[in-house]
Amino acid sequence: MITRVYADTSVFGGAFDAEFQRPTQAFLEQVRQGLFNLVSSAVVGREIEVAPPHVRASYDDLISLAEIVDVTEEALALRSAYLEADIVGQRCSDDALHVALATVSRCPLIVSWNFKHIVHQRKIPLYNAVNVLRGFSAIAIHSPAEVIEYDE
């Protein structure tokens, strides 16, 4: 079964970061191969607009493969619940919105290189606690390195 996976903005930039380049490029190649169904949003698009040209070009190349989800009232309400639960502060509300968008669009997985606000061992159970309390499923939150298929 092919997994729908929401990729936040850090994934596209990670393709050009020495520390994250290999697993990011492997993840994006596996998207191209159809191993993952890429999900994105207008939030990612807005954040990409201020990225360096090579990051924008990479995003533009892949976005035709992506399902673009809308920022809905439901996603905004879930983001507000994350903020009220103090998972992240107001100035990081777009990070919470990425998790909310992935959750309300029923993605079982979100990938990110944001270890401070998203892929963090203390925050993941908090996001999922709010999700369950609000009637949503828990979501797996990982870095691309943790989800790519490796050759044995």
Sequential pLDDT tens for the chain (152 residues): 789 999 999 999 999 999 999 999 999 999 999 999 999 999 999 999 999 999 999 999 999 999 999 999 999 999 999 999 999 999 999 999 999 999 999 999 999 999 999 999 999 999 999 999 999 999 999 999 999 988 76
pTM of the entire predicted model: 0.95
Tokens of 48: 């990409």
Number of helices (H), then strands (E), in the chain: 8, 5
User: According to the model, what pLDDT value does residue 144 have?
Assistant: 97
CA–CA dist 25, 30 (Å, integer): 8
CA–CA dist 97, 21 (Å, integer): 25
Query: Domain 3-147 belongs to what topology?
Result: Rossmann fold (3.40.50)
User: According to the model, what pLDDT value does residue 152 have?
Assistant: 65
Of the candidates 59, 72, 77, the residue with the CA atom closest to the CA atom of residue 7: 59
